[in-house]
Amino acid sequence: MLMKARFDLIAEVEGGIIIVDLKKVGQDDERSFVMSCADLHYDVQNAVYRHGAAEALSVPLDTVRFIHAAIPDKPPHCIDWRQMGHRTMRTGEENMRKAINKYTTAKATGEWTTIQAVELPEWYLSR
Domain positions in the chain? 9-125
Q: At residue 17, what is the residue type? A: I
Q: Which residue has the higher pLDDT, 76 or 67?
A: 67
To 10 degrees, what angle do helices 30-39 and 42-57 make?
70
- What is the arithmetic mean of pLDDT over 119-124? 91
Mean pLDDT of the chain: 91
Pairing of strands 16-25, 64-72: parallel
Q: According to the model, what pLDDT value does residue 99 have? A: 93
**What does CATH list as the number for 9-125?**
3.90.320.10
77 and 30 in contact (C-beta within 8 Å)?
no
34 and 83 in contact (C-beta within 8 Å)?
no
pLDDT tens digits, 34-65: 888 999 999 999 999 999 999 999 999 999 99
